[in-house]
Structure 1
Amino acid sequence: MTAVAPQWSQALGHAASDKRLDILRGIARSGSISQAAREAGVSYKAAWQALDTLSNLAGVELVQRAVGGAGGGGARITEAGQWLLQAAAALDEARQAVLARLPPLGATTPSGSAPTVPVVAASAVPALAALGLRTSMRNQLPAQVRQLRREGAVVVADLALSGGAALSARLTRESAQLLGLQAGLEVLALCKATAVRVGPLAGPGATGAQEETPAETWVADAAGLDHERPAALAGQVLRVARAGVAQEVVLGLAGGLQLVGFSTPGRALRRGSQVQAWVAPSAVVLALGA
């Protein structure tokens, strides 16, 4: 059987903001998963999830562990795990060095010198790092966490998009812990285009023919889950393309953002028309930049 080559770039991800790597560092120091979990501020279950995910991404064993015992069992970093931590430290050092060399946005270039490369403000660096993210999800929206709400075993993160639009993401407590979610944190909200339902805007401010289906029916249809209420995002159709019996719709949101979704079969939308997009919280994935 041919050995699978390690996928280091997948495991490293955005190392500077990755709690999974923090947990791996903690295990290297203490030899204990439970101690590493406490140091990272996550549950023991979340720490196990982090190690499983990191090993899956790397494609190689990073930790050798022994289950059991009052302290949750011992653990030892493998040679591959040590290499991964060294690579993460080197990448973080190189990243900081590059950012330190770049001038602030709007900085002038002395006469006769080579032109400088302007960069965004420090608060927008996570969005800059997100440019390196490759995913099949076409909707990638910079957002800020407004608040976190507990709903049983899950956490709902209420998000604010630029321009005032609101969105929510539904995730497990362990995932929220590993991301270090808290109010004010800048994140990237990801969503597949096929998970976004688009229909005519109903109610005040709508133009043209009104939606015949009651709004509550739209909500239930878009959610697919009885316990979820999707976020409603108003916008204007920028482009429309036929996609089988439905339409692929690109709409502009407040703040200059764009969202891609699909109309319900039988509902023809025109460029320039006012529409509403429905996005269920369970369809939204959160990501962090470096």
Structure 2
Amino acid sequence: MRYLLFIGVAAVAALAAPVSAQFLGKPDSPPRSAPSVAQQFWAPKPSAPTPYVAPNKIHWKLSEILAAHRGQSDWLQPLVRNPEQEADYVSLGAGKKTKAKMYADDRVMWIVQDGAMRVSIEGFEPFIATKGFMVTVPYRNIYTIETIGDKPSLRFEVRRSGSKPLYPLGETPDPVDGKTYVKVARGTPGAATLATDNPIYVDFLKQVAIDDKPYNGKFVWDDHFTSNILRGKAQPVAPDTNRGHFHIDFTEFWFIMEGKIGYLIEGYPYFETEQGDVVTAAAGRWHRASNSPNTPVSTRIPLNPRPGILHNFESQ
């Protein structure tokens, strides 16, 4: 009876209150002062550095990847595997075309490293993407990639871990271990997302790499995917006592878009990278990325599974 009385009182109170005041944080709610952000705090860091488990490793060199696949036109090189994201280098032979497919609830993103491709995304005009193009397909958008020209196209592709593609009925799905593709009908509206908050593509070489102009902007930004474009001039190498920061729960990795980027990652000496390389800082490891002093301008593309993940810097 007390439970029923409580529900009744709550219901009456809800009916009596203005509808717009029922939800905390509405524009006409009482103003809330900005919460203070602690300048120092305790953060749980692994007692031992998180290990790299294959195919993950601290530094994938593009030159070594290409050497390993010399003479091949169609190949896939796994690079990153973690609970949130996975990344590969994918080569598609001249004249070849991917099957039409889409992802149910997550986007896919890639950077063209070499060659040329025609990208067709349902609802958008097809476009030709060449070296330096950054492309992203929102979820539930059917798309294809077709290599054009007389050489393979090569792309660095990132997806949500565990996401499996869906195919229109005209395609034969590629087999997936432990899964059986069955014919289904969509039971809810579930419309495809549009490119309202994120662009479909950026032509980096024409839109960003202008003279030596620095750039710091978002490419894609949603609740499961974050990718920025960080371009800057050469800078001196900081001392090893500057360990940078670490992330508590997530692995961060980077695609080297231009120039050379220097890294200091916990457990490894400082090293520098080349364009097309991929670098990974396992979750919980101190890491520091900076533009190399050995080239005028450098650009890195960081990839993370959350927008604004917490950066934990060493307390002084």
> How high is the TM-score relative to the length of structure 1?
0.24
State the TM-score, normalized to the length of structure 2: 0.22
